[in-house]
Chains A and B, each alone.
Chain A
Amino acid sequence: MLILSIDTSAIASAALLTGEGQTLTAFATEDTRTHAEVLAPGIRALLDESGIRPDQLDALVVGVGPGPFTGLRSGIATARTLAFAWHKPLHGVMSLDAVAADAAPAARAAGHTEFLVATDARRREVYWARYGTDGSGWPVLLDGPHVGPAAELPPLPAYGRGAGIYQDQLDAVAGFGQLQPTAEALGRTAAARLSHGVPLLDTTPLYLRESDAKVPGPRKRAL
């Protein structure tokens, strides 16, 4: 099985993986604001480098957030359009699961049975979720995703860029304060679930916030 994975919930990234979750090739940017520029050329380069033809792909997966809206939509719009043009199945994965996948071995090694994942939601808030590490399998989502101020999160070890930014308010785990969701980790999660017959999500974006628009009140009458 071959999977093309895409995530733009924070940074822009894409990866080609096998059904066993082995990465064949991947790219990730540092930047969180140039998704529309780098994503399509990045995916083209992955295909070129690996020599994999689109018709060899079995499925696409995309991170559905939460993440800053415009960036998040870049990845979902790209993935939906590629899946449409290539006639391939497309699945969604909650983007914080990617950070959880990268954090789980360390959390397990440290004996944490529960931990938090937090990413930057801007406006002095984080996107976050709570995971469990029971057993030896994949981290299990226990609660979330949510958006809110870091100070309001449960007191658990926290992984991810959101924890790095608000380390004064969170129990940020050292060495994980820069960790962002990547298409590689997202693809590994998806591959594991697909091979175990665990259903994935559709590609509805998890915005978690309203559009901020205010319905205007009635005009004040001059009296």
Chain B
Amino acid sequence: MNREKPLVLGIESSCDETGVGIVRGDELLANTVSSSMEEHVRFGGVIPEIASRAHLDAMIPTLRQALDEAGVTLDEVDALAVTSGPGLAGALMVGVCAAKALALATGKPLFAINHLVAHIGVGLLDGGELPQNLGALLVSGGHTEILRVKSITDDVELLGSTIDDAAGEAYDKVARILGLGYPGGPAIDRLSREGNPKAIRFPRGLSQPKYMGSAEAPGPHRYDWSFSGLKTAVARCVEQYEAAGEAVPVADIAASFQEAVVDVITAKAMLACTEHGITNLLLGGGVAANSRLRALTEERCAAHGISLRVPPINLCTDNGAMVAALGAQVVMAGAGPSGLTFAPDSSMPVTSVHL
């Protein structure tokens, strides 16, 4: 196997995007994504079975297109990589079966890759080597995490995460309450520009002292988030206006909700960074496209002397290139392949970068 600058094909199917990416070392050759997002619009959220059906239909066309775009053949590929978790079980299964079949058909080594760590690995495709003292803030419709990255291939630690809804999920639910459609993130972000983010003070989940503790004696959720209470608070707020027969100030509510989400995400991320010696932060996940999250993360990173890196948005959302990018790193680090017998793991911990 070429471990210098390996040609790696990566497959992603953990949520609603079917992605196939091809990299050579840290050079991006192709990043083809087919999304079933449109099919979830009428449900106001990702329906796992619909996503799984779409993955099955999209897999071969996406694979073919990625190979065409990269101008390479399966024979030339050095290694295969696939997201084996975390994610939706039925969705992961489609990508894992396709990847195993490719490995079986071609005899190429297959690496089972952690989706969350791949969100960090994608940073290598944009700006090369990752800095020391690295942290990663991942915010999407499926996850919200703050991670410490000592080694992208074998030492990643989860510092904090949401204990209920992902931030992107909270956006979708609140957008539904406000009648703004799906996906909620872009709609709320857009409307927020017309509203007053200080109009309503929505709760910042898990911020009370009993959860936070202190740096020396951390509470049980010092770096964790909770967004389900926030969603309830927005619903209450809308009901109060309706009960009073007043017009609902949708833009103010959207802006105030967004401020609450972004404030608590960045505040806790900064706390985790400063208390763990993290001086470089990578922002990833689909919600990295949110203008307020980017602005406040930039502002607070600057205030704390933390350098911030945000990959281009098509690399932040779920895709196969991130899986290939991390796969290439794992190959270059000399790790052995995962074989054909591993199972997808919907709750794969970040401590397993690969299987």
Partner-B contacts on A (CB < 8 A): 34-41, 43-44, 54, 69-70, 73-74, 76-82, 84-86, 205, 207, 211-216, 219, 221-223
Give the residues in chain B near A43, CB-CB below 8 Å.
104
B98 touches A77 (CB 8 A): yes
Measured CA separation A74–B56 after assembly (Å) = 9
Give the residues in chain A near B53, CB-CB below 8 Å.
69, 73, 205, 207, 211
Give the residues in chain A near B74, CB-CB below 8 Å.
85
A84 touches B97 (CB 8 A): no
**Is B199 on the interface with A (CB-CB < 8 A)?**
no
Measured CA separation A44–B102 after assembly (Å) = 12
**Is B105 on the interface with A (CB-CB < 8 A)?**
yes
Q: Mark B210-232, 1 if CB is under 8 A from A, else 0.
A: 00000000000000000000000
A78 touches B101 (CB 8 A): yes
Measured CA separation A221–B103 after assembly (Å) = 54
Q: Which residue of B lies closest to A219 (CB)?
A: B177
Give the residues in chain A near B105, CB-CB below 8 Å.
54, 81-82, 85-86
User: Is the interface on chain B under 10, 10 to 19, 20 to 34, or 35 or more residues?
Assistant: 35 or more
Candidates B90, B100, B240, B342; contact of A70 at CB < 8 Å:
B90
Partner-A contacts on B (CB < 8 A): 42-44, 47, 49-50, 52-53, 56, 59-60, 63-64, 74, 89-90, 93-94, 96-98, 100-106, 176-177, 179, 238-240, 242-243, 339-344
- A29 CB to closest chain B CB (Å) equals 13
A211 touches B64 (CB 8 A): no
Give the residues in chain A near B240, CB-CB below 8 Å.
222
A-B contacts, 12 listed (Cβ < 8 Å): A36-B93, A43-B104, A70-B93, A73-B52, A73-B97, A79-B101, A80-B101, A81-B60, A86-B105, A211-B53, A212-B49, A222-B240
A205 touches B56 (CB 8 A): yes
Measured CA separation A216–B176 after assembly (Å) = 10
- A78 CB to closest chain B CB (Å) equals 4
Measured CA separation A35–B104 after assembly (Å) = 15
A78 touches B100 (CB 8 A): yes
Q: Which residue of B lies closest to A79 (CB)?
A: B101
B343 touches A37 (CB 8 A): yes
- A60 CB to closest chain B CB (Å) equals 11
Measured CA separation A33–B74 after assembly (Å) = 30
A34 touches B343 (CB 8 A): yes
Q: Which residue of B lies closest to A84 (CB)?
A: B60
B43 touches A215 (CB 8 A): yes
A213 touches B43 (CB 8 A): yes
Candidates B49, B90, B340; contact of A41 at CB < 8 Å:
B340
B176 touches A81 (CB 8 A): no
Measured CA separation A69–B53 after assembly (Å) = 9
Q: Given A81-B97, A211-B50, A213-B47, A36 and B344 touching (CB < 8 A)? A: yes
- A189 CB to closest chain B CB (Å) equals 23
Give the residues in chain B near A76, CB-CB below 8 Å.
56
- B252 CB to closest chain A CB (Å) equals 18
